Amino acid sequence: MKEQKLTSLVNEMTLDEKIAQLTQLATPFFKGASDGGQITGPMADMGITDEMIENAGSVLGASGAKEVKNIQRKHLEDNRLGIPLLVMSDIVHGYKTIFPVPLGIGCSWDLELAEKSAEIAAKEASASGVHVTFAPMVDLVRDPRWGRVMESTGEDPYLNSEYARAFVRGFQGNDLTTEKDRVAACVKHFAAYGAAEGGRDYNTVDMSERELRENYLPAYQAALDEGCEMVMTAFNTVFGIPATGNKKLMRSILREEMGFDGILISDWGAVKEMIPHGVAEDEKEAALKALTAGVDIEMMTSTYVKYLKALVEEGQLDESLIDEAVQRILTLKEKLGLFENPYRGADEELENEIVMSAAHREASRELAAKSAVLLKNEGVLPLKKDQKVALIGPFAENGDILGPWSWLGSKEDAVTVKEGFLQKIDPSQLAVAKGSDIETITEEQIKEALEAANDADVIVLALGEDSDMSGEAGCRADIKLLGAQLELIQRMKELGKPMVSVLFNGRPLDLHGVWDQTDAVLEAWYPGTEGGAAIADLLFGDRNPSGRLTMSFPYSAGQIPVYYNHFNTGRPKGAPDAQERYVSQYLDIPNSPLFPFGFGLSYTEFTYGGMKLSREKMTCEDSLEISVTVTNSGSVSGEEVVQLYVRDVSGEVVRPLKELKDFEKIKLEPGESKEVSFIIREEQLRYHHSDLTFTSDPGTFIAYIGGNSRDAMEKSFTLLK
């Protein structure tokens, strides 16, 4: 159906039908849904009528080829003009084959595998009838108290942008009109949801426009540049106005400046939440503000269907704004081919064949292994396959390793750590005990754990947070490991045996009581369906850890926010001429994080040498090549993430001490060396000035190359006028 046909379809629609297209409801509202058609509960509360449902534009949370076909079929029977539903769901890090949480995927520094994970998720989801996924979430994060850091790829705008592109490519493929096994992506949450004050979900976000543009907008722009079809609004305020009603943010910045002409959907209830935010007297005003700001679809509140018609009839709202929104929604339906085939990729046979297939599980296992970060290892890893191992802790046999937003993934399908270990060693070599629950511990549990570990050669502690301690509304003020588990560590330490901590969690933790009390620490995040197998691959040396942190681990919550690309201040601690006291420091803890951005260990060693520049001065027209020789000076093959950072020594505004500009993940055999080169161009040196112009300045720069943001070789160069 071409443009003009869509326009004529819009013209055929009544105002009520148009407005209903702008409404998204969850499955229980729909007759064809297994839990659908309940006239009581939610429908009555929201004032939703049968007619509104018959004309609704999209359904939230449907899945399963059979179920989706039923919902669509029933809907088309009732819809006067035969306009099909868009089926949208949260497929964030896997559909049913669950991959590591995105913060884990981010630590893999493997963009290809990240893209592959999104492709697999899309193929499973599209065969199951889904058309759109509410992903990728690309919010930049600097506060691990926030529950949703697990959903992001971390604290760096450049790296988040690279992952945004990779995820959109994976979800959408090259052409959604022809590739029915992909889904449309919806980048979220626009904008700057990750900067909620105090790391408390839904809390105020308040920052300068320069900061927003410099650090928080790039990843959304990257997703849009990759063709992302939809954008979701953030719950929070931006410049003092809730994003969902923020005309400057949505019309001026998102649509006009960033060039987005696709569908803008509100987050769940965010339109109506403008009332408690205090910018709308009532639902009618909320509806007016949201549509005026350009929000095309209202998710799970009903202000549009209840008040837009009156607003038009009263002359407060021009119907053309509604027509524009409808046109955008129908355009996506047309692009997805839903007018020709409302069932698109839904295919029960294909669904049975590919969902949770061995190939998909293997991809999940590989990515889980690449996402884990070895934070400490004092000679205890890898484990030997003839050792007697005691596996102790609440995550020893726990399937809760899928993490939040793993919706259709099932814990029962997850490979536990115990199951992973039994793929490596004989049962006679393995003793398992829970030792504690996530938040509680008993003397009985301790006794059982001590007995289990009594004649072990090594103790592996499987510890972490319950998955509902992360994710949406999963915020924690104290980010230590739970007290019961810290006590378990102390009690197990009494045995005087080597101890390894494996952590299952969705945020950087304050690791006091863990990293200082055990001989090795492996951060596994929530590794997904094959998590236990991947962890066993790593601990027994069949894979060498290669993950590198993309979010700093604070020394303590008192340091937050702590991130690598910070400013120097006028009184930097440790400067050559710094005074003892009057510098920017804490009296009781260090300034630097416990583990910095980019950090991660390996079972081998990598050494850097021979750093050189192709020239020391460059102009805006040319570029500069910078190279270094990396050697695997250890005894096993391994992968290293070679990272390039740049510092602009003096800008029109203060500039970060380091900014990631490029990276390369390389594999080296023992003794092997490789020259790694990067090209620096003037456009990589641009930044937002105080007047918001985005340009570079001539002057001195320092290039750093290393295996993390702290330990790096450096050389200066000059950008000429």
Query: Residue 237 CB, nearest distance to ligand GLC (Å)?
Result: 15
Residues 6+ apart with CB under 8 A from 668: 604, 606, 630, 631, 632, 637, 638, 639, 640, 674
Return the DSSP state at 480: B
- Residue showing the smallest CB distance to ligand GLC in the complex: 134
> Whole-angstrom Cα distance, residue 178 to residue 175?
6
Residue 268 engages ligand GLC in binding (rule: CB under 6 A): yes
Residue 131 in the binding site for ligand GLC (CB under 6 A): no
Kindly state the tokens that stand for 54. Answer: 């018959």
Residue with tokens 């980010």: 479
Token pair recorded at residue 557: 């919550």
| 658-697 footprint of ligand GLC as x/- string (CB under 6 A) | ----------------------------------------
Q: Does 134 bind ligand GLC (CB under 6 A)?
A: yes
**Residue 409 CB, nearest approach to ligand GLC (Å):** 15
Task: Give residue for tokens 């949480």.
Answer: 101
Residues in a beta bridge with 628: 676
**664 to 171, 190, 287, 674: CA distances (angstroms):** 24, 29, 47, 12
Q: Does residue 639 interact with ligand GLC by CB under 6 A?
A: no
H or E stretch covering 363: helix 358-371
588 carries an active-site annotation: no
Cβ at position 277, least distance to ligand GLC in Å: 15
> Closer to ligand GLC at the Cβ: 17 or 267?
267
**Greatest alpha-carbon span in the chain:** 81
Residues numbered 178 to 237 that lie near ligand GLC (CB under 6 A) are: 188
User: Per-residue x/- mask for ligand GLC, residues 483 to 522, rule CB under 6 A?
Assistant: ----------------------------------------
Which of 500, 483, 396, 399 has its CA nearest to residue 448? 396
**339 is a site residue for ligand GLC (CB under 6 A):** no
- Residue placing its CB nearer to ligand GLC in the complex, 465 or 472: 472
Interacting positions 34-93 with ligand GLC (CB under 6 A) = 90
Shortest Å distance, C-beta 411 to ligand GLC: 20
**Helix residue ranges, H only, 49-194:** 50-54, 65-78, 102-106, 111-127, 157-172
> Applying CB under 6 A, does 472 fall inside the site for ligand GLC?
yes
Of 242 and 420, the one with the shorter C-beta distance to ligand GLC is: 242
Work out which of 115, 155, 226, 267 binds ligand GLC, going by CB under 6 A: 267
Cβ proximity to ligand GLC: between 123 and 188 the closer is 188
From the list 110, 143, 156, 267, the catalytic residue is 267
Between 297 and 390, name the residue whose CB sits nearer to ligand GLC: 297
Q: Nearest-CA neighbor of 102 among 141, 158, 143? A: 141
Interface with ligand GLC in residues 137-156 (CB under 6 A) = none
The least CB distance from residue 290 to ligand GLC, in Å, is 16
Between residue 11 and residue 30, which ones bind ligand GLC under the rule CB under 6 A? none
Count of residues engaged in binding ligand GLC, rule: CB under 6 A: 6
Q: Is the peptide bond before 382 cis (omega within 30 degrees of 0)?
A: yes
Residue 561 CB, shortest distance to ligand GLC, in Å, is 21
Q: What is the Cα–Cα distance from 220 to 228, expressed in whole angstroms?
A: 9
Query: What value, to the nearest 5°, has the Cα angle with vertex 276 and ends 274 and 279?
Result: 45
> For ligand GLC, which is the closer residue by CB, 61 or 598?
61
Kindly list the distances between the CA atom of residue 511 and the CA atoms of 521, 552, 596, in Å, as whole numbers in the listed order: 10, 12, 13
Sheet holding 699-706, edge to edge: 617-618, 712-719, 699-706, 638-648, 659-668
Write down the least CB distance from residue 501 to ligand GLC, Å. Answer: 31
Instruction: Output 134 or 564, the one with its CB closest to ligand GLC.
Output: 134
**Where do contacts with ligand GLC occur on this chain (CB under 6 A)?**
90, 134, 188, 267-268, 472
> Active-site residue numbers?
267
